[in-house]
A = this chain, B = another copy of it.
Amino acid sequence: MKLLDGSVTAPLGFLAQGVNAEIKSKNKKDVGIIYSICPATAAGVFTQNKVRAACVDISQEHLRNNQAQAIVVNSGNANACTGSRGWNDALKTAAITAEALDIQKNDVLIASTGVIGGFLPMDRMEKGIRSAAAELSQAGAVNLANAIMTTDLRSKEIAVEFDIQGHSVRMGATAKGSGMIHPNMATMLGFITTDALISASCLQAALKASVDVSYNMVSIDRDTSTNDAVMILANGKAGNPVIDDVNSGDMKKFQEALDYINIAMSKMIARDGEGATHLLEIKAENAADIQTARMIARSVASSNLVKTAIFGNDANWGRVLCAAGYSGADFLPDKVDVFIGDIQVAKDGCIFDFSEEEVKPFLESETVLIKIDLKSGDKNALAWGCDLTYDYIKINADYRT
């Protein structure tokens, strides 16, 4: 597997574009399209919030035949809590996109992100969609990556190439996150493209498994959104023998590439969490089972008190143990060792005589690693988060007004 430049248009047969439609502001890109030159096998995972935007339900509906050819996305307005008018606006968004691209309406997936509870300005949406459709290109992926940002500071792009039985296969992705991120099924917007030829059932299985170890292990603020979605399009243009056995070596390679990409995106999202100054990587290791490891890693990554301690460069390992304790996981507190970077700070659930000086560089590093060794088995899990800072408050105290 090797890294490629670019993102969603790195695989063969994909084009993209992002434009300014004055939904977010007068000059930021806010409407974009990802397009495959032929219908692609498609899969998605979506928010588990009971309050769901129309675009989530409609995209799920459009994925029933496991096929899609385009994703249309806007930022600046989530089109959530907008009732039947919002539902019609989302349907119209798909219809305009289908018409502009000359494809089937139900081959269009929709995603929206931004403020909840405002109607989409459909005139501007339509103008934006038509303009993005008219300007689709390989180079347009950069603009698409920008068009999906809300409070993100950086756009998030990645692409890789790997081999399936002598055929080069490419996979690319872009994502947005920043706020309202919490592990619960899909946790933000993530779009993945690949030119691999793969069956619908393998694609869905790979996506689900991958999201469980990536997007679902990211927490910025424990709030799951009404619009979270991760979608993947696989158009088969690589010409590889079809991947249609979940237990095959080819599937394993595909899964590895997908996990690599989704974990990279997840870490970028965590690092770019609202107001973040540190990426927080939590490893729960040697758990009796994988669920225990995941619950503990996520709980520690989600704790406001751990996150403020990291902001303050404070080796407050008691808060780490405490967050493990209320994770809901069953474990033996008296066996737990805690490490910050390379330095052990707690042993057997108890004070360990460590040097604050030695821990300091690990707390000051951009990525702070906390390891919780449960010494009860051999299952491991990683979770990512960020510190909780003054800027998180600033960003969220005046987001809407």
Q: Are A223 and B116 in contact (CB-based, < 8 A)?
A: no
Q: Kindly identify which residue among B52, B82, B224, B330 contacts A351, using a CB–CB cutoff of 8 Å.
A: B82
**Considering the chains assembled together, what is the distance between the CA atoms of A65 and B149 in angstroms?**
61
Q: Kindly identify which residue among B304, B309, B311 contacts A304, using a CB–CB cutoff of 8 Å.
A: B304
Q: Are B117 and A304 in contact (CB-based, < 8 A)?
A: no
Residues on B with beta carbons closer than 8 Å to the beta carbon of A127: none
Taking CB atoms and an 8 Å cut-off, the chain A residues in 87-124 that contact chain B are 115-119
Per-residue CB contact flags for chain A residues 386-401 toward chain B (1 = under 8 Å, else 0) read 0011101110111111
Q: Are B388 and A83 in contact (CB-based, < 8 A)?
A: no
Q: Are A333 and B50 in contact (CB-based, < 8 A)?
A: yes
Residues on B with beta carbons closer than 8 Å to the beta carbon of A249: none
Q: Are A326 and B400 in contact (CB-based, < 8 A)?
A: no
How far in angstroms is the closest Cβ of chain B from A296? 10
Query: Quick one: given A322-B49, A322-B225, A324-B51, are A83 and B396 in contact (CB under 8 Å)?
Result: no
Residues on B with beta carbons closer than 8 Å to the beta carbon of A348: 83
Q: Tell me the nearest residue of chain B to A220, going by C-beta.
A: B304
Please give the count of copies of this chain that the complex contains. 2
Residues on B with beta carbons closer than 8 Å to the beta carbon of A309: 396-397, 399-400
Q: Are A350 and B83 in contact (CB-based, < 8 A)?
A: yes
Per-residue CB contact flags for chain A residues 335-355 toward chain B (1 = under 8 Å, else 0) read 000000000001011110000
Per-residue CB contact flags for chain A residues 293-315 toward chain B (1 = under 8 Å, else 0) read 00000000011110011011111
Q: Is A138 an interface residue, CB under 8 A from the partner?
A: no
Q: List A residues at the B interface (Cβ < 8 Å).
A: 48-52, 78, 80-83, 86, 115-119, 179-180, 182, 184, 221-226, 302-305, 308-309, 311-319, 321-327, 329-331, 333-334, 346, 348-351, 356, 388-390, 392-394, 396-401
